[in-house]
Structure 1
Amino acid sequence: MEPDFVFSGKRQNTRGFIVVVVLWILAALSALVLIYLTYVTNTAIVVTGSADRVQAEALESAGVELAVYQLTSVNEATRPTSGTFNAKVGAGRVTVTFRSEGARIDLNAAPKGLLAGFIAGLGAAPSDAAGYADRILAWRAPTELGDDDPENSFYRTSGAAYLPRHAPFPAAEELWLVKGIPPAIVERMLPFVTVFSNLASVNILDAAPQVVAALPGMTPEKLQDVLSQRADPAQDRQSLLGIAGSEGATLAGSKAYRITVGVEAGNGRRSAAEAVILLLETGAEPYRVLSWRNASDGSAAPQRAFPG
């Protein structure tokens, strides 16, 4: 009887082992299925996100193209310096605002008086503002003095690991590198400056009040007159120059335009982009992209200057 008892126990152990193996196999298969489903789900999310981004970028590009068409469909003498419109593009919609870069202060062309007045208007003491303006002029000014250049010495003694460029600013963001200007002032300046207009003056038709207030001889009373009269389409635009004074003010625009495009895709997703373009008078292409900032994927390419 004893052998039968041993045999029966072994048979039961074998069945138990088989059950455990089967359970492990089922668990492994379940894990594989879960991994596969996770992979498929993530792939679908990535594909959907990529498709949404491609659609948004296409609509953003369409908005820029439509703005360029409006600007180039008229002759230069009657070309608007600013404007806004919206349009339906396929299943989506774009809202476009364009403005000449002449409405901003050009870091490479603005004289000291305009820079100093602008910086003072942002909260700096007048004497400090003049010094900050000197720092900007010295950064962009060429030099042949080398190590004897006083601005180079200033940067060395301040502990900087670099020297002034002694050439035009290639990007407005390079203003962060200019020594001697408080970061808070730089941050306030950046929304109103450019490296693209190539103008020593600013277009008072489109410039922000902070920029118009920086013009030499501008008073609070004059500023209010300029702002109220330019808002009235019936007013003679030339009269604005008489109010503001001719120094530093102009009604002319730049060939560089900043274009902001808001996008609503067919699925309701929203995005935005900001481009700076240069209108070209000759050649096969009507314009060149100088800068592109895309809010749909978080990229923010810095401003870059164009040659000439």
Structure 2
Amino acid sequence: MKRTPASPARPQRGVALLVVLWACTLLAILLGGYAMLARTEGLQARYQFAQTQAHYAAEAGVVRAIYGLQDPQPQQHWVADGRSYPFDFDGVRVSISVIDEAGKVDLNAATPEVLQNLFRAAGMPDAKALALAKNVADWRSFATTTPGVGIDPAYALAGRDYGPRHGPFATIEELQMVLGMDPAVYRVVASQVTLWSGRPSPDPATAPPLALAAIPGMTPQQAQALSAARQASQPVPGMVAPQGVTHSIRSEATLADGTRAVLRATVRLQGLRPGAPPYAVLRWQEGDGE
């Protein structure tokens, strides 16, 4: 009996089945990738939305602080000594603190003694604090100690291609350029210094902790008592917080899911004059980094 040869369709069907399986596998991989991409984009969109919500809540906190400083009812005025004022904005918790710039160490007006005390309170040894205070005074001084020399020899010896400005500090960040300024010390003192008070020494009624320690004659016990009274929102006998015009505002907004935004602004109040803005922004920063 003659045998019938095997049909060529069977191996073709096997190959087709493999192609279908590979196609299904590839399609599953592609679909999984698209699903992961869509999930990632969804998470990013939610994160960006939450960050935006927190940011605008923090901005609302800055505006609320400006209003509190200029409240038409004097007894409702906010005290600009660093105490915290809670605020709720559309379900977002906002914590606001305000410091009068008069309570900070003015880089352009503070005495060398105040500067030395500030750097010592920030952790510098006495000798380095004294040298840095002298360098700050030299930086802002109009009188050059080395006439006719392009770069100060001390700065050149330290590898700097610049010397002191011999003029007022233009920004707080410029303090980092002064010879002897340690980055760690700068991070500590940056929030304690200002360009806008014009005072040789901080006002103790509103000075933050390190600036308080920089005041000549201020003992640790006195500084501790002042800080404790502020935290308890108690008046200090014989000391009245001034109603200055230039203030630093820190506004921190926190959502229910923990998303957080921090804004820091230095503003100058300009009063309620027809056609004029009620305040001017002198400095604006996002986050707590310096």
Cα distance in 2 for partners of 1:34, 1:228 equals 58
Deviation readout 1:52-83 (Å, 9 max, x if unpaired): 01110111011111111111224999774335
Cα distance in 1 for partners of 2:222, 2:87 equals 37
Q: Once structures 1 and 2 are overlaid, which stretch shifts more, 171-180 or 44-53? A: 171-180
TM-score normalised over the length of structure 1:
0.76
- Report SS of the residue matched to 1:179: coil
> Does structure 1 conserve the Cα–Cα contact (< 8 Å) formed by 2:135 and 2:178?
yes
Q: Could you say if the C-alpha distance between residues 253 and 179 of structure 1 is closer, same or farther in structure 2, counting changes exceeding 3 Å?
A: farther
C-alpha RMSD over aligned residues? 3.4
1:260 aligns with 2:250: yes
> Does structure 2 conserve the Cα–Cα contact (< 8 Å) formed by 1:116 and 1:133?
yes
> Does structure 2 conserve the Cα–Cα contact (< 8 Å) formed by 1:275 and 1:290?
no
- Report SS of the residue matched to 2:260: strand
> Does structure 2 conserve the Cα–Cα contact (< 8 Å) formed by 1:147 and 1:153?
no
Residue 167 of structure 1, CA deviation: 3.2
Cα distance in 1 for partners of 2:196, 2:39 equals 46
Cα distance in 1 for partners of 2:141, 2:186 equals 19
- Report SS of the residue matched to 2:48: helix
Which residue, 19, 29, 33 being the options, matches 1:31? 29
The corresponding residue for 1:116 is 116
Cα distance in 1 for partners of 2:108, 2:196 equals 9
**Identity over aligned residues, as a percent?**
26
- Report SS of the residue matched to 1:148: coil
Report the AA paired with residue 263 of structure 2: E
Q: Could you say if the C-alpha distance between residues 181 and 94 of structure 1 is closer, same or farther in structure 2, counting changes exceeding 3 Å?
A: closer
The corresponding residue for 1:244 is none
Cα distance in 1 for partners of 2:228, 2:9 equals 100
Deviation readout 1:160-189 (Å, 9 max, x if unpaired): 133323333333233222113444544443
Q: Could you say if the C-alpha distance between residues 73 and 188 of structure 1 is closer, same or farther in structure 2, counting changes exceeding 3 Å?
A: closer
Cα distance in 2 for partners of 1:197, 1:291 equals 14
The corresponding residue for 1:69 is 67
The corresponding residue for 1:237 is 239
Residue 220 of structure 1, CA deviation: 5.1
- Report SS of the residue matched to 1:213: helix
Cα distance in 1 for partners of 2:50, 2:138 equals 46
TM-score normalised over the length of structure 2:
0.81
> Does structure 2 conserve the Cα–Cα contact (< 8 Å) formed by 1:85 and 1:95?
yes
Cα distance in 1 for partners of 2:249, 2:84 equals 9
Cα distance in 1 for partners of 2:102, 2:21 equals 75
- Report SS of the residue matched to 1:237: coil
Cα distance in 1 for partners of 2:228, 2:37 equals 60
Report the AA paired with residue 80 of structure 2: T
Q: What count of residue pairs does the alignment treat as equivalent? A: 283
- Report SS of the residue matched to 1:99: strand
Q: Could you say if the C-alpha distance between residues 38 and 124 of structure 1 is closer, same or farther in structure 2, counting changes exceeding 3 Å?
A: closer
The corresponding residue for 1:284 is 276
> Does structure 2 conserve the Cα–Cα contact (< 8 Å) formed by 1:197 and 1:254?
no
Q: Could you say if the C-alpha distance between residues 128 and 145 of structure 1 is closer, same or farther in structure 2, counting changes exceeding 3 Å?
A: closer
Report the AA paired with residue 286 of structure 1: P
> Does structure 2 conserve the Cα–Cα contact (< 8 Å) formed by 1:110 and 1:200?
yes
Cα distance in 2 for partners of 1:123, 1:109 equals 22
Report the AA paired with residue 49 of structure 2: A
Q: How does 1:123-202 map to 2 (within 5 A)?
A: 123-142=123-142, 148-149=148-149, 152-202=152-202
Structure 2 alignment gaps of length 5 or more = none
Cα distance in 1 for partners of 2:236, 2:147 equals 57
1:275 aligns with 2:286: no
Residue 111 of structure 1, CA deviation: 1.8
- Report SS of the residue matched to 2:214: coil
Q: Once structures 1 and 2 are overlaid, which stretch shifts more, 143-152 or 181-190? A: 143-152
Cα distance in 2 for partners of 1:234, 1:115 equals 25
> Does structure 2 conserve the Cα–Cα contact (< 8 Å) formed by 1:132 and 1:180?
yes
